[in-house]
Structure 1
Amino acid sequence: MRPLRADELLLAEAASARPVAPPAERARGLLEVLRRVVPFDAAFLAFADPGEHRPSLLATLDLDDAAVRFLEGPQVARDIELTGTDRARPPLGSSDLPYPAEELATWADCLIPSGLREGLGVALFADGGRHVGHLAVLSASPAPPSAATRRRLARLAPLLARCLDPLSSLLAGARLVQGVTAGTALRADGGCQVVPGLATDPLLLPGSPLLGFVRRRVGDGRVSSSFLWPLGGAHAPDGHARVTVLSTSDDAGPGLAGLALLSPAPPLHGLTPRELEVLGLLVEGCTNSDIARRLVVTSRTIATHLEHIAAKLGTPTRTHAAVRAERDGLYVPAVPC
C-alpha cells in the first residue's frame, strides 16, 4: 500500500479527530479541510440513500438558505442521474456537459442564482463499490477547473467515501466480536446489504426468521445485543450459532439500520438444547405454566429443568438465571425456525 500524500493525511486526520461525532459535523469538518487542498467557494456533501434512491443532504459550506432548501429537494437526484455523476467516473464539471448548465434545474434555479458558475461533482464509492454519497465543489468563477484540481479531487474521493461510510462505525464494532463467520447490513427499507470482508450465510438472507427477529431487536432500540440461534431446526440438532446485533444511532445516516453477525456459540455451561429453550422462554417473561403449555409438558418438568439450569449457571433464582442468560448471550428466542 502506497503511503498517504499530504492532502490525504489532512483528510484522514480530520476524520480521526471526530471518530464519534455526528455524520453532519464530521462531514462539515471534512469539507473545511478539503477546501485547503481543493479551493472552492461553496460545497455540499450528501449521503446516497439506497432506500429512497436519492441523495440526502449531509453538510454544506457557504451556501445560502434558499440553495440549501433546493438541495434538500428531489430535483438534485434527477440532475445527478441525468449527468451521470452517480456513477464511478472522474469528477464532472458544468463545462464538461454537452449542453448548457442552465438546462439543469439545479444550476438554473439554485446554483447560478447563488452566484456560482462552475464546479465539479463526483460520486463517492466505498470499499466493495458501494455508492455512499455525492460531493460537489463549486466556484463563482466561470473558468473550468484545472486538470490538477480534477486529478486531486478524483484521488481524494475514495478517502472521503471511507470517512463518510455509515458502515464504518458498525464494522469497527464487528471487529470486536470474536470469530465472526458471516454478517449482513440491515437497510431501513427492509432489505439487506452485503458487507465487504464479511461472508454471507443462508441464515442472513432476506425473509429468514432470524433476520425478522434481528429487526425486532433493532427496533427495540438496543445498541448491541447477542443471543443464540438453533441450527438445523427448532431443537438445534446441529447446535447453535451466536448472533450479535449492532444498531446504528439515529444520526448515523439514512438507509442503514444495523449489522447482524454470526459467530460460534459461547460456552453453554452444559445446558442442553431443551434447557436453553426453557431459559429463552424464561427470559421472555413466561411463567412455569406458560412454558409448560408452550412445550407441551408438565409444570413439574419445567420446574425440574429450571433447577438444573440454576445449578449449571450458579444462579439462586429464576430471575438471576434470566439476567445471566441475557448478559452472556445464552438467550434462545422463542420464534419458529
Structure 2
Amino acid sequence: MHLSGREEVQAVTESLAVALELTAEINRVTPASDDLPEDLAFMWDLMKRIVPFAAGWIGTLDEDQRRYTTVTSVGHDRDSLAYMESEELTELRKTGGLLQRRRPMRLRDAPPHTAELPCWSGHWWPAGFREGLAVPLVTQDGRHLGVLALHTDTATQPTAEARDVIGAIAPAITTVLDPMTLLVGLAQLVHGATAAAVVDRRGTVTPLPGMATDPLLTRCPDVVPTAVDSLTDRVRHTSFLCPVRADDGREGYVQVTGLACPPSTSENLVGLVLISPPGDLCALTHRELVVLGLVIEGRANRDIAARLFITARTAAAHLEHIRAKLRAPTRTAAAVLATRRGLYIPYRLIDGGTDGREVTIRAGW
C-alpha cells in the first residue's frame, strides 16, 4: 500500500514515539538480570508497532564465538530456535560480516548473493518469511555482544525508516545484556578507583569499559592472580597494598581490590580488579606491612624471621609495633583488622630472594 508524503511523516513520527517509550522501558530493566527473558518480553508488542514482524529473536554470542544463546524470542518454533543458535548460522553471520557491523541490515540491503544463502533458501523462505532485519548489538567499546533479528511475512516490511528506528533502540538493549554494565556499577563502590579490569576463568584480563587501564593489571603477572585467587562463593572481596615506583623514583603504594563477579553477569567472568589510592596506612612501615602479610598468611614468628632474614626477636618486635599502631590486643586481631582494611602486602608480591624490602614489579616500575 502506497502512503502519501503526509502519511509517511505521520508513520515515522509514531514510530519514533514508540521507540522513545520502548527505550525508556528497556532502561528500567536491571542489567544482567537473572530473568532477562521475562524482563524483556514486554518489548515484542511495542516493537510490532514499529515493524509488523512475524517472529523476533534476541541472542548473545558465546565466548568462543561459535554459537548464539537465545535470550528471548517470539513467533519461532523449536526448530527455528535451534537453527538460530546453530554453529551453521553463526558461521554464516560471520562470513556475512555481521560481527563487524554496527548498523542494522535488512535482507534487501545485503549484497545480491545474500538472498541465496542457505538460511533463507533452506529455512526462512520455507517457513513463510519474506524479509528479515538483523540488528548487531555492539557495545560502545566495540564488542559484538549479540543480535536482534526480526522476520516478516511480507517483503514490504521493514521499511528503511523502521529499520533505522529499531537500530536506534539497539544500544539500550545492548546495555541491558552487557555483563560489563553491572560491573561498571560495582566498580563505583570502590572509592577513588583509577583503573579496573575484568578477569575471566581463563585468566584473561580485559579493561573495564569507561575505566583507565594500569600496567599493574595488564603486565605484572602476580597482582591480578593475587586479587582473584582468594575469591570464592563466600569470599566476595579482597584488598591489599602493592608497592610501586613513580616516574620520579619515589616509592609508594596503591590499593588493589578484588571483587567477585555476581553470578548474574556471566559464568565466564571471575573477578573485577581495581587500583585506587592507598588511604591511611596507620603509620605502618614497609617492613611492618610485609610482616603483616605473613601473619595473615598464617606464618609463625620463626618462619617470618627466616623469610625476611631477621631474628625471631626482631619479628616479634615488629608485631608489637604493628599491634600498637593498629590498636589491636592480639596478633590475630591485628591480622583481622589489616585484612579488612587491606593494610598488608601479600608475600607473593615480594621477591623472596631479597631481604623483603625490594618488591618484584615485573612490569618495569
Normalised TM-score (structure 2): 0.79
User: 1:240 pairs with 227, 246, 253, which one?
Assistant: 253
In structure 2, the partner of 1:78 is 91
Q: Which of 266, 275, 279 is 2:279 aligned to?
A: 266
Farther off after superposition, 302-311 or 176-185 = 176-185
**Within the alignment, does 1:162 sit opposite 2:175 as a pair?**
yes
Change (3 A) 1:290 1:9: farther
Q: Secondary structure at the match of 1:158?
A: helix
Unpaired runs of 5+ residues, structure 1, are none
Q: Identity of paired residues, percent?
A: 36
Matches within 5 A, 1:11-26: 11-19=23-31, 21-22=33-34, 25-26=35-36
Partner residue in 2 for 1:99: 113
Of 27, 38, 43, the match for 1:33 = 43
Distance in 1, Cα, partners of 2:38 & 2:151 = 15
Contact 1:66 1:110 in 2 (8 A): no
Q: Would you say the 8 A contact 2:289–2:345 is kept in 1?
A: yes
Cα displacement (A) at 1:110 = 5.2
Q: Does 1:59 align with 2:71?
A: yes
Once the two structures are TM-superposed, the CA of residue 223 in structure 1 deviates from its matched residue by: 2.9
Quote the Cα distance in structure 2 between the aligned partners of 1:146 and 1:314. 72
* Contact 1:243/1:260 (8 A) holds in 2: yes
Q: Which amino acid aligns with 1:21?
A: S
The CA deviation at 1:203 is 0.7
Greater shift in the superposed pair: 263-272 or 192-201: 192-201
For the pair 1:209 / 2:222, whether they are aligned, the reply is yes
Maintained 8 Å contact 1:186/1:192: yes
Shift of 1:290: 2.2
Which among 321, 325, 333 is matched to residue 338 of structure 2? 325
Q: Secondary structure at the match of 2:329?
A: coil
Aligned-residue CA RMSD in angstroms?
Answer: 2.8
Change beyond 3 A, Cα 1:58–1:238: farther
Q: Paired residue for 2:292, among 263, 272, 279?
A: 279
Contact persistence 2:36–2:72 (CA under 8 A) = no
Q: Where does residue 309 of structure 1 map in the other structure?
A: 322
Query: Helix, strand or coil for the counterpart of 2:290?
Result: helix
State the Cα distance separating 1:34 from its structure 2 match: 4.7
Say whether the 8 Å CA contact 1:86–1:122 is kept in structure 2.
no
Relative to structure 1, the CA distance from residue 102 to residue 254 in structure 2 (aligned partners, 3 Å threshold; closer, same or farther) is farther
Q: CA deviation at 1:309?
A: 1.1
Q: SS state of the match for residue 108, structure 2?
A: helix
Cα distance, 1:86–1:220 mapped onto 2, change above 3 Å:
same
TM-score (norm 1): 0.85
Amino acid across the alignment from 2:177: L
What does the per-residue CA deviation read over 1:11-34, in whole Å, with 9 as the maximum and x for residues that have no partner?
343342435722xx2255335325
Is contact 1:185-1:193 (8 Å) kept?
yes
Q: For residues 209 and 123 of structure 1, what CA distance do their matches in structure 2 show? A: 37
Does residue 134 of structure 1 match 2:147? Answer: yes
Any idea what SS the aligned residue of 1:69 has?
A: helix
